[in-house]
């Protein structure tokens, strides 16, 4: 049994307060905050990882070794067989143009697809005059496929004796050795004629029955066209609305058979007053009819 004085002392002692302290209470409330828990669970590991990385990367030797190891892993990954390109296929081009595309690209096979810059290769392919556009893609089976859209030659440009094939936009397609190699295409000549190829094609399309006699179109002063026909006939068109002027001439020719006569040139630069230049025989006959030249005189060359 305990002494009475001890029991009295124990009953008179101060009881323990179960409530948390002020700072303990604050910490419990802070821990219950979702933002704090997220920051604590994420921020602390990030700080630890950052500290470890900082210690490891503080040494230049360890940094170099780490970079070399990562580079080797990357090289081994890119050199895997499934990423290897072993074949170059060119579609949409003639055999000669396909060979030119292969030479232009200069891709040494086999090669990893990671080492191919398709944009640069596309620009190289489109650098050829005969190519309007090109698309490149790496297909399954290790095939680098090049799809080509060729430029279509629609006219021959004669410039200082050299012959050049042009497309509808006036872009160069290729050189031409002889006019006889492409007798199906019209010929245009003169400075700046290649820049207005579309207008020349409109005139050829509007020529209608004259196409069989058409020898070519000549750009004059970089502002208007002359149509050259066989029998050395020339049609001088105005700078403005040349197609309409040609259509009016065709209407006159249909009604009066104008172009079948002995004419050197028909000047249409004035809408309402076309000027006819007679040939040598027609001029002489006209002068004889007016009594200006005796029948025994020799032929003269002149313009009316």
Indicate the pLDDT class of residue 38, thresholds 50, 70 and 90.
Answer: confident
More confident call, 245 vs 278: 245
| pLDDT of residue 170 exceeding 80 | yes
User: What's the chain's average pLDDT?
Assistant: 82
Check residue 126 and give its pLDDT.
Answer: 94
For 23, 25, 34, 48, 246, the CA distances from 37, given in Å and listed in that order, are 18, 16, 5, 17, 87
Q: Give yes or no for residue 298 having a pLDDT over 50.
A: no
pLDDT digits 0-9 by tens, 218-237: 999 999 999 999 988 999 99
The pLDDT confidence band at residue 164, using thresholds 50, 70 and 90, is very high
Sorting pLDDT into bands at 50, 70 and 90, what band is 119? very high
Q: What is the pLDDT of residues 183-228, one digit of tens each?
A: 999 999 999 999 999 999 999 999 989 999 999 999 999 999 999 9
pLDDT at residue 35 above 70?
yes
Mean local confidence (pLDDT), 12-19 = 59
User: 184-215 as b/e, with b when 16 or more CB fall inside 10 Å?
Assistant: ebbbbbbeebbebbebbbebbebbeebeeebe
Q: Is 95 a residue whose pLDDT tops 70?
A: yes
pLDDT band, residue 60 (cuts 50/70/90): confident
pLDDT at position 7 = 47
pLDDT in tens, 145-154: 999 999 999 9
Query: pLDDT of 63-90, one tens digit each?
Result: 787 777 777 776 666 667 777 888 999 9
Instruction: State the pLDDT at residue 43.
Output: 74
User: Structural domains in the chain?
Assistant: 81-150 (3.10.20.310), 155-289 (3.40.50.11690)
Q: What is the pLDDT averaged over residues 275-289?
A: 64
Rg (C-alpha) for the chain, rounded Å, is: 45
């Amino acid at each position: 049994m305990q002494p009475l004085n001890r029991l009295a002392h124990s009953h008179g002692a101060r009881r323990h307060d179960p409530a948390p302290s002020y700072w303990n209470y604050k910490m419990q409330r802070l821990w219950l905050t979702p933002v704090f828990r997220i920051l604590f669970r994420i921020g602390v590991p990030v700080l630890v990882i950052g500290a470890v990385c900082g210690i490891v990367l503080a040494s230049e030797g360890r940094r170099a070794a780490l970079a070399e190891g990562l580079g080797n892993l990357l090289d081994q990954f890119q050199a895997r067989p499934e990423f290897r390109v072993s074949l170059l296929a060119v579609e949409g081009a003639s055999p000669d143009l396909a060979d030119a595309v292969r030479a232009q690209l200069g891709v040494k096979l086999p090669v990893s697809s990671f080492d191919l810059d398709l944009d640069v290769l596309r620009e190289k392919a489109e650098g050829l005059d005969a190519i309007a556009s090109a698309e490149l893609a790496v297909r399954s089976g290790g095939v680098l496929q090049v799809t080509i859209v060729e430029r279509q030659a629609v006219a021959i440009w004669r410039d200082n004796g050299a012959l050049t094939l042009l497309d509808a936009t006036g872009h160069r397609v290729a050189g031409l050795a002889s006019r006889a190699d492409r007798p199906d295409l019209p010929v245009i000549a003169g400075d700046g004629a290649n820049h207005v190829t579309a207008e020349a094609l409109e005139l050829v399309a509007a020529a209608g029955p004259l196409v069989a006699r058409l020898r070519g179109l000549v750009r004059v002063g970089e502002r208007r066209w002359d149509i050259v026909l066989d029998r050395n006939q020339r049609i001088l068109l105005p700078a403005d609305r040349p197609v309409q002027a040609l259509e009016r001439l065709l209407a006159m020719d249909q009604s009066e058979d104008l172009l079948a006569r002995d004419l050197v040139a028909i000047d249409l630069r004035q809408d309402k007053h076309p000027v006819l230049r007679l040939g040598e025989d027609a001029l002489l006959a006209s002068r004889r009819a007016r009594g200006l030249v005796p029948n025994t005189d020799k032929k003269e060359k002149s313009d009316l």
